[in-house]
Amino acid sequence: MRNARVWRRPGERVSGPQSLLVSEGRITGIGVEADRHASTREVDLAGRVVTAGFWNCHVHLTEAVWSDQSGAGVSRVQAAIDDMMLSRGFVTVLDLGSHPRTTNALIRRIEAGELRGPNIMTAGAGIRPWRGVPFYMRELVPWFTRWMLPAPVTGFGAGRAVASQLRSGARIVKLFTGSYVTPERVKPMRTSVARAAVEEAHRRGARVFAHPSNREGTAVALDAGVDALAHVPDDTEGTAPLLAQAAHRGVRMVPTLHMFASTVSADPGYLHPIYTALGDFMRQGGKVIFGTDVGYMSERDTRPELEAMAKSGMGVHHLLRALTSEPADFFDDDERGAIDIGLRGDLTVLDTTSEAVQPADLSRVYATFKDGRMIWPASLE
């Protein structure tokens, strides 16, 4: 890449225009000229800013388009991947709950090169409290297939459910420790069930995300030892000491702030405590990883989420950290999360030439690379 303003990692300054060299999927040169040979391919970025590839740590692949497995569906599925993920700069996404058959097929089609797509880690179908299917899922899942959604009654059952999901392709685990069974009522998961699920996941090297919802769901998540909260609890009453404890223990938080505004209520009386809870969590040293809940929320633009996070007190370096190095660190992935020699060529090019990047600029993407290959837009290749 020529004329790239390289933003190597959060906390460092954006460089002046220079060259960035990637070969065989890895970053091999920063600020040096390539040894040119016939296979060298050049992209002139005209001074645009390049960062490590972004992560979206909360998506769902449940919309009808994803289950289109016919050959004729390729362009439709590709358009959906582009719109939801690649054009937003996401090179790695965490699917926190979908139909495993659909998601596994999509992952295979990307790996086979039939579709251009991000790295996808999935939580499979997720695990609910007994009789605790969230009300918004009941509309999506017909009653006669609901038995397929794991809802273990005992710790033993929870361990088996986790093992079975990880065997069938899941790489992370999602627990509804607090499940909105009606818009007003949260059903908590039994602590013994949640704890057994976490133990089995950790035994198999998988990270666990919890959907907390309220004080009780957050308490169960912490008692069970989960690794991340998939949302800020939106009923924040009584959660302050628990979130402080989560921050001290290194439990990560995926805020999904705009999802609350977009799917529940834009009433400031509802949103303000959620923003404050996130701000308090960060002031206690809590680590934030970026995620939007897109797929559940239909809106795909990431700008409102970035602006909401900025409003909660995150500066642009902190936002970049949540999008890149923090999730890589969470997964002990030492090949991603920054731009450096030897790391993978997973890169996001912003459509700005300013060295003073603003939060909203992180939503304006010019191109996305995975392993050194441009995966979006198709037309630039």
Q: Which residue carries 């009300």 as its tokens? A: 135
CB of 97 to Zn ion, least distance (A): 6
| CA count, 13 A, side-chain hemisphere, 174 | 24
Identify which of 289, 311, 307 has the alpha carbon closest to the alpha carbon of residue 299.
307
Neighbours of 32 (CB within 10 A): 11
CB of 139 to Zn ion, least distance (A): 15
- Give, as ranges, the residues between 287 and 316 that touch Zn ion (CB under 5 A): 293, 296
Residue 374 in 3-state DSSP? strand
CB of 293 to Zn ion, least distance (A): 4
CB-nearer residue toward Zn ion: 139 or 332: 139
CB-nearer residue toward Zn ion: 235 or 293: 293
CB-nearer residue toward Zn ion: 27 or 96: 96
- Give, as ranges, the residues between 251 and 270 that touch Zn ion (CB under 5 A): none
CB-nearer residue toward Zn ion: 259 or 306: 259
Q: Tell me how far apart the alpha carbons of residues 92 and 335 are, in angstroms, rounded to a whole number.
A: 12
Identify which of 201, 246, 205, 215 has the alpha carbon closest to the alpha carbon of residue 228.
246
Whose CB is nearest to Zn ion?
293
| Tally of helices (H runs) and strands (E runs) in the chain | 12, 17
CB-nearer residue toward Zn ion: 296 or 331: 296
CB of 211 to Zn ion, least distance (A): 7
- Give, as ranges, the residues between 77 and 106 that touch Zn ion (CB under 5 A): none
CB-nearer residue toward Zn ion: 54 or 296: 296
- β-pair type (373-376, 172-175): unpaired
Contact of 91 with 112, CB cutoff 8 Å: no
Residue 282 in 3-state DSSP? helix
CB of 285 to Zn ion, least distance (A): 25
CB-nearer residue toward Zn ion: 95 or 326: 95
Give the DSSP H/E element, type plus range, for residue 216: helix 215-224
CB-nearer residue toward Zn ion: 59 or 347: 59
CB of 38 to Zn ion, least distance (A): 47
Q: Is 234 in the site for Zn ion (CB under 5 A)?
A: no
CB of 346 to Zn ion, least distance (A): 24
Contact of 188 with 178, CB cutoff 8 Å: yes
Q: Tell me how far apart the alpha carbons of residues 236 and 215 are, in angstroms, rounded to a whole number.
A: 7
Per-residue contact string for residues 319-358; x = within reach of Zn ion by CB under 5 A: ----------------------------------------
CB of 89 to Zn ion, least distance (A): 20
- Give, as ranges, the residues between 125 and 144 that touch Zn ion (CB under 5 A): none
Contact of 366 with 373, CB cutoff 8 Å: no
Instruction: Give CA angle at 131 (127, 136), nearest 5°.
Output: 75
Size, binding site for Zn ion by CB under 5 A: 2
- β-pair type (90-95, 119-122): parallel
Q: Would you tell me which residues interact with Zn ion (CB under 5 A)?
A: 293, 296
